[in-house]
Amino acid sequence: MDISGKKAIVFGGTSGIGLATSKQLAALGATVIAISRDPSKAEDLPNGVSVEACDVTDEDAVSALLSAQAPFDILVSAATGGSRAIGEFSAMDMSGYKSSFNKLWGYANVVRHGIAHLPDHGAIVLVSGSPARRCGPGQVALSSVGGAVEALSRAVAKEIAPKRINVMSPGLIDTPMVPLTGSERDAHYQKLTGKNLIARAGSADECAQGIVFLIQNDFVTGTTLDVDGGILLS
């Protein structure tokens, strides 16, 4: 796909990986609509990127927004859908485990109501995470949700061809979700990534490059691209 001149909708497009994706798509000539639960927090957006408000877990709101923005060529969701439960499954509050799946429900809303507005050359990209296939301590909820996202993509790919849908799976990424600063932040990431093949945290830009690849390469669908510093092999 030649991204220049295309229209892209990016849910979660004002922070972290979503923001980096919005910027890279705009730099390649796309008109980008970045979707945020709270557009007032959006900052550092380049020309070619506008912001709309929407909560991905509100199905009616997602449907209305996508209908209003149609037609579009590219649909990306990097929205987390809310909080995610961490800890041992045997001691986990099940309401926390269930709420972790808001990410999946949000993705399902975006895909379900976006398909009809995509042309045959259109592309969808979702974001999972390395715990889907390499679950670390306390990551049962993350693993469950990520695995479901990847399964959803593979199943939907068969139904919507020649339209395409793929997943980008990041490893540990340095994003604003970690509140630490300075040396404490550096020590945090060094501790968590020391055994990785590439022993550092990834960047939102590196993940966005993976998303852009999945959009541009017309021969890729129903797959998961790992941008994880080799964590699956560590």
Asked if residue 191 is part of any domain, the answer here is yes
Number of domains in the chain: 1
Quick check: is 218 in a domain?
A: yes
Assigned domain for 204 exists: yes
Provide Rg for the chain, Cα atoms: 17
- CA–CA dist 69, 61 (Å, integer): 12
Instruction: Identify whether 233 is part of a domain.
Output: no
Considering the domain boundaries, does residue 2 fall inside one?
no
Q: Are 129 and 227 in contact (CB under 8 A)?
A: no
CB environment 109-126: b (16+ within 10 A), e (fewer):
bbbebbbebbeeebbbbb
179 in a structural domain: yes
> Residue 232 falls within a domain, yes or no?
no
pLDDT in tens, the chain (234 residues): 999 999 999 999 999 999 999 999 999 999 999 999 998 888 789 888 999 999 999 999 999 999 999 999 999 999 987 778 889 998 988 999 999 999 999 999 999 999 999 999 999 999 999 999 999 999 999 999 999 999 999 999 999 999 999 999 999 999 877 888 888 888 988 888 988 999 999 999 999 999 999 999 999 999 999 999 999 998
pTM: 0.93
Residue 152, domain CATH: 3.40.50.720
In a domain, 85, yes or no: yes
Question: Which residue range(s) make up the domain with 170?
Answer: 7-227
Half-sphere exposure of 153 (CA within 13 A, CB side): 28
